[in-house]
Structures are given as C-alpha cells and as structure tokens.
A = this chain, B = another copy of it.
Amino acid sequence: MELTERKKKILRAVVEEYINTAEPVGSKTVQQRAALDCSPATIRNELVALDKEGYLEQPHTSAGRVPTAKGYRLYVNELMRERRLSADETEAINEKLRGGSHEKLMADAGRMATELTSYPALTVSAAASPTVKRFDLIYLDPNSFIIVLLLTGDTVKNKLVHLPFSFTENTLRRLSAVFNASFTGLTEDKITSDMINSAERAVGDTMGLTSVIAGFVIETLTSSGGAGASVSGEANLLKLPEFQDPDKAHRLINYLSDPHNLSALTGTPDFGDVKVLIGPENAALELRDSSVVLASYDAGDGMRGLIGVVGPTRMDYSAVAAKLSYIAGGLSRLLVAGSAPPAGFGKLMIKGGHDDV
C-alpha cells in the first residue's frame, strides 16, 4: 500500500531529523521541519499510523519517534534526495586519488572515505579468480633467485627464494619457459599435481625446484583470490552516541578487524552502483544494528573491488552514497584505463633534503 504524500513528507522529516540529532523526534519538531500547515495533533495521528505500519517506533511510550529499518529502507529507496558533491569535495578526492598500485589506491580510497564520512571505511578487492599472465625467474646467485608473476589485473607478485643447494642460470631459464608454456592462464583449481610432475620431468629437475615454484604460484593465486580486505578509521565509531557503550563498540570493531568477515560482504548481491544494507538486512549478527554502504568499482581485467563504510543505521545515506560512488568511479577510471603515465613521468624531481613520507 502506497503512503499518502503527507505521510511521506512526515517520514522523511523524521528520518532526516533523527539522522542529525540521534534523538527521538516529536510531532512539534516534525511540523517545523517538514513545513506542513497542519497542527502537531494531526501529525501525531499520522505518526500513529506510520507506527502501526512499521515505519517508525517509539523507544518508550511518551517519547518521540525513531525510524525502523523498514522506515530507513523506504527513505533510501524513495524519499531520499540525491546529494551532489561540492566542488571542494570532488577536488579533494581527485587530489588524493592519483594512481599507484591497486593496493595503494585501495588504501588511499579507504582513508579518503573515512575522512569524508567520518565512519570506518572498508575496502575489499573482489575475488575474480586470478590467473598468471606471465612468468619470470631472475637468477641472483647459485643459491637464490626471484620469482616474478604477472597476474590478471596487472598485479605483480614476487618472492625471493634461497635454497640450500645450487643450480644454474640455465636451469632457471628452462624452468621459466616450461612454466610460461603450461601454467599461464590457469586459475588455481585448474593446477594439478600431474601438471607439476610432468613439468618437473620436462625440465629434468631432480632437486624439487619445480615444486617450490609451483607452490608459490598456487599460494599467490589462492591468496590474491580471496584477499585484499582492510578497514581504516575504526576509531571514529567511538565518537558516535550509539557506540558509547565500549562493549558494543568493541564487538563491532573486532568484527571488522578480521578480513575474513569483510570478504563475506562481497557475497551480497549488487544492484547498480551503490548498495545499502540497513541494520537487520545485514547477514552478520555484529552488523545487525549498523548500516553498511558499499560501492563497487571495476578494477580492470574482470576484477571488481568494493569500497564502503560502516556506521549507525542513523546515517546520512544520500551523502555517504554520493561520496562512495564518486570514489568508486575514480577508482574504476584509474584502474581500468590503467595506462595513464606513471606519476613523475617527464617531470622528475629530486628532493633536496630528506623529508617525511
């Protein structure tokens, strides 16, 4: 059943007022805020109706109204006015987001999101099963070499290997050729022991070099798969009135500090650009009385990432959504185009003294 125009206005007023003050909203305040030409008594009648329909609730009899999850949901879906970013804001974002590796960009974007919303920000780089695009072994000395893997998404991974026995540069070259031939383009689950054994035979490797390298490949593919989740700005929660109880804050911060939990958020379906999960809509118990706003971005090469914030259900959804959306857009642009010349190109400067990072 569709709400009347007036009820919508009232609901919007309650939500927006509550977002600002974190205090239950009374009929008189609504009247002022919504600029309706009817008396508080009339509004009270409407409030009772909204209450019955489940959009609002009272912390206790004789207190003002507070939006329920259902109320916020309606607000987000229909009532919220689109928020435009100010020039200052977009500029600040553009300023901060200037290339670098995917990891660095994610970290910068997270900090940015925290700064702009003053809520903890989380970043997750989604698990589009990566494969190795290219494979190199750099010979250092008879006992050590570096493995360099170029993955889809243009991520480069490396590892320095020391071994207790020696080998020749030539062996490495052969290994490199074999791996490039047979291990590129495969997701982790496609790599079998048979393949490794036959590679071993092909090189004539009797020392187990092949398995060391294959081990690193597998480790890298699995870890870059589910990986890349982090949070920043958790401390901001403590300033919010809803987290004055240290125990409550502790539970949430603790939950957020486990990357495993963050990755789980990737699972939630993605409708369009920005996704809003309000209170009990969250699967995780720890998030049940908080809200999560997520924006996804394209990281190129079929990879997706997520940037979002966690805050109280009382959250300025439209502002947060706008900011995250803009940041996500920026990330997509930087990562998917990718071919922007690296910073410092052509205008290299050498710093005189030593200065801070």
Contacts and interface: CB of A to CB of B under 8 A. Distances in A.
Interface of A: 101, 134, 136, 138, 140, 143, 146, 148, 150, 154, 156, 158-164, 188-189, 191-193, 196, 208, 211-212, 214-216, 218-219, 222-223, 225-227, 232-235, 238-239, 243-244, 246-247, 249-250, 253-254, 257, 260, 263, 338-346, 348, 350, 353-354, 356-357
A150 B156 contact: no
Contacts of A146: 136, 148, 150, 156
A235 B253 contact: yes
Contacts of A222: 357
Nearest to A127: B357
Q: Taking the full assembly, how many copies of this chain does it contain?
A: 2
Contacts of A253: 234-235, 238
Contact of A150 (B160, B162, B254): B160
Given A148-B146, A162-B339, A211-B348, A238 B250 contact: yes
Contacts of A134: 140
In the complex, which of the residues A223, A233, A342 has the most CB atoms of chain B within 10 Å of its own CB atom? A342
17 contacts: A148-B148, A158-B158, A162-B339, A162-B341, A163-B341, A211-B345, A212-B344, A212-B348, A215-B348, A233-B257, A235-B249, A238-B246, A239-B250, A243-B246, A244-B246, A249-B249, A263-B357
A161 B99 CA distance: 12
Contact of A346 (B208, B250, B340): B208
Contact of A356 (B136, B193, B260, B343): B260
A150 B140 contact: yes
A225 B355 CA distance: 11
A235 B101 CA distance: 29
Given A134-B140, A234-B235, A247-B238, A342 B226 contact: no
A356 B235 contact: no
Nearest to A251: B235
A350 B260 contact: no
Contacts of A254: 235
